[in-house]
Structures are given as structure tokens and as C-alpha cells.
Amino acid sequence: MSRVLTLTLTSHRGRDYPVELFTPDTAFTDSGAVYLYLRMPQGRSLRAHVLYVGDAALLAQQIGVDRRPGGIWDQAEAMGFDTIGALALARPEDRKLIAREFIHSWNPPCNDGHGALSGLVGLATPMPELRMGGFRR
């Protein structure tokens, strides 16, 4: 597992969520989580680009599905995806609620009907601000 660090994402409602960041080659366990495919900021930018938000009862299996040719993984990768964010949540109703809040907050371009390719240009919706936790190895 390649956890990079923890960051706090603040939704459009002002709620803070601690999201663990992982490299794309991480071998996840099958636990419940809201997960995000992100393009992390370059240089001095403090805004991450949320490219996709999903919720999964079995995260490892769901990422396997996403990785099928032509799937969400390929779409996000074409947009520069370089980091997976995960917020572990056991209760399905919590995962669905938070995933919807994240989608509404950042209008990810890979979520059907939520920005499509228009999310790549300008990203008019608020981007999550990064507040760094500690580095973990």
C-alpha cells in the first residue's frame, strides 16, 4: 500500500472530510469507501482536480471494474489522474450521501451527467482546497 498523505477536502457545504491519498499502484482491501480519482496540483497551486467520485462496498473489486479497458480509469488517466483519494465508510447510506455531496461540490468530469468534458476547461465549480496533514510512509 502506498499511502502518500492525508488531506482535508472541504465540500460546497463547508464540511471537512479527511481523505487519505494513495498512488494508483496501491493494492486496496475490500472495504467500504468513497473514492476519488484526482489530479494533484503542480507547482504552488493549492487546488486538486477531482476527476471522478465513486462509492464502493468493496473498494478493491470496484477499482478492478474501473480498470477495465475503456472504463472510468482510462477516462481519468487521459485527464492526468495521478492520485486516488479514499474516505473509509462502512455504512452504505453514508457513502452514498458523501459521494453525492462530493459530486455536487466539484462536478467531476468523469461522472456521467456531471460536467462531462466541460469539466476539463476552467472547472467553474469550486475546487477542493488542500490542507496537508502529515506525511506517512
Averages of pLDDT over runs of 10 residues in the chain (137 residues) are: 74 89 93 95 75 96 96 95 95 96 91 46 42 46
**How far is it, in rounded angstroms, from Cα 54 to Cα 56?**
7
The CA distances from residue 128 to 2, 83, 103, 131, 132, in Å, are 22, 14, 12, 9, 12
pLDDT of residue 112: 74
Q: What is the pTM of this model?
A: 0.79
Percent helix, strand and coil across the chain, each to the nearest 5: 25, 30, 45
Tell which CATH architecture fits domain 3-135: 3-Layer(aba) Sandwich (3.40)
Grid cell 493494492 in the structure block, residue: 27
pLDDT of residue 47: 75
In the chain, where are the structural domains located? Answer: 3-135
DSSP-assigned letter for residue 121: T
